Amino acid sequence: MKTTRYANSRQKACQQCSAAKAKCDRKPTGCSRCSQRNISCVYPQVAHSRSQTPSQSEANPQSPESLPDMLTLSSGSRLSTHGGDEWAHAISRAQPMSEREYVNVNTNTAPVPVEHRLNQTPATSEDAGLDFSNLDLFCPINVDEITTRWMNPYIPVPGQHIKQYPAGVSAFIFRTLKSYTAIAARGRRILPFIHHTQISGSPVGSPLTTCLSLIRICETSLPGSEATAMMMIQREMQNIIESSTGYDDLCLLGAFQAYLIYCLVLFFRLDPGTTTHLRPAMMSLQTLAHLSSKQGLICMADQQRTRPRWEEWIVTDIKRRTLYVMYLFDSVLSAQEDVPTFLGTELSGIPAAASKSLWQAPTRSIWEREYNIHLAEWTEKGLTIDELWPIPEDMDEPSIAKRRRRVDHWLEDIDEFGTMLYAVTVCTHGG
């Protein structure tokens, strides 16, 4: 397809400024905006025209001879690939993917049925203009309690409630999170706490994009290469922490997700069952959760019973889902260390996972239609996560009946992630 007369002008801004709809001074060595934020400045490549010869367009980019000595990651970090030609070749396969490639990366596997993804397709021109600036959000909880959660088993706090997970529930959480690790490494599906617009819209070099590319080496690594993979992942985790103060809200959210995925990969795949190096990592992960949550967990429009912008809703539901996965992972680590896990009362009042219709809506217009239906059906606020917790002893029968009706309503249209949350809570606390 020929490039249009607008193609060059549209590609002058770097990926990061383009995603943020910000002015870019387009310095060849890196724009000023990216330099101030200490993030990688990447300029998009100009698409080739049909006049390109087959020998040019079909050259094998993955041959070991064409690999650079260093693998460039986000925020300017560079990791050595001198672990041998086989290891370098495995790394060369870890390239950023489009949403379609992410879902159907294995051509020998049948694509996910369309009906299972609400006719989800890669972002269309309608959604190419997603604007994540000026989000009207607020945080209704004390996020400082997220940062200090790791201290709960060691320093008693009034009002703490130990979660007595039955053995079957603990095994269920363990196997579910382990499956998330396999999903991430294989790239056949989108993780349930990553929104499809992040796959198609995250700029090259962002923490999440780097993560989804880097962890693919875990699927193709050779025996004995686990130590090298661990070194690379741990170095990227350190890079995220060092760069987090310069991230904007959207990049910080991606960093939170990426750091959680790295922790899952380390625990379930590269160093199974070992928590020695993961407890400090969990402290850093909870700090990232605190910083991201502080920017807002609920849309202001939701409080006014009006429809928020799609971008606002996407960001808040991603944050909440990622938080819930982090809390479940914390319970797995606590079980491994034989320390108690406490009910996350600091999350009380924030919404539970949203409906399948809203989460999987492929376009803005479909999401707006579904949200209008949501507002009509939920005349009061939507279900909150604490409504899945133990029923208070002082709650009267009419209130208990009302609560159960709300949970039943929520169960009518939840995806597999919501089903998992319900299974964990109902088998632990009853309902």
Residues 150-186: tens digit of each pLDDT = 888 788 777 788 888 999 999 999 999 999 999 999 8
* Structural domain of 38: 1-51
Answer with the residue of higher pLDDT: 247 or 7. 247
Q: Is 311 a member of any domain?
A: yes
- Residue 17, pLDDT > 90, answer no
Of 4 and 199, which is predicted with more confidence?
199
Residues 31 and 147 in one domain: no
How many angstroms separate the CA atoms of 51 and 58, rounded?
Answer: 13
Q: How confident is the model at residue 269 (pLDDT cuts 50, 70, 90)?
A: confident
Give the pairing of strands 298-299 and 137-138.
antiparallel
109 pLDDT higher than 70: no
What is this structure's pTM?
0.72
Return the exposure string of 282-294: e unless at least 16 CB atoms fall within 10 Å of the residue's CB, then b.
Answer: bebbbbbbbbbbb
Query: Which of the listed ranges 38-42, 70-74, 103-107 does the model predict with the highest average pLDDT?
Result: 38-42
Share of the chain above pLDDT 70, in %: 74
In a domain, 409, yes or no: no
Is pLDDT above 50 for 280? yes
- pLDDT exceeds 90 at position 419: yes
Shared domain check, 142 and 39: no
What is the Cα–Cα distance from 105 to 219, expressed in whole angstroms? 12
Has residue 402 been placed in a domain?
A: no
CATH number at residue 39: 4.10.240.10
Evaluate whether residue 61 is within a structural domain. Answer: no
CA gap 234, 154 in Å, rounded: 26
pLDDT of residue 157: 75
Please indicate, yes or no, if residue 423 is contained in any of the structural domains.
no
Q: What is the pLDDT of residue 431?
A: 64
Residue 92 lies in a domain: no
Q: Is residue 389 part of a domain?
A: no
Same domain, 33 and 165: no
Give me 124's structure tokens.
């269309």
Q: Which residues contact 125 (CB under 8 A, 6 or more apart)?
A: none
250 has a pLDDT exceeding 60: yes
In this prediction, residue 340 carries a pLDDT of 86
244 inside domain: yes
Number of separate domains in the chain: 2
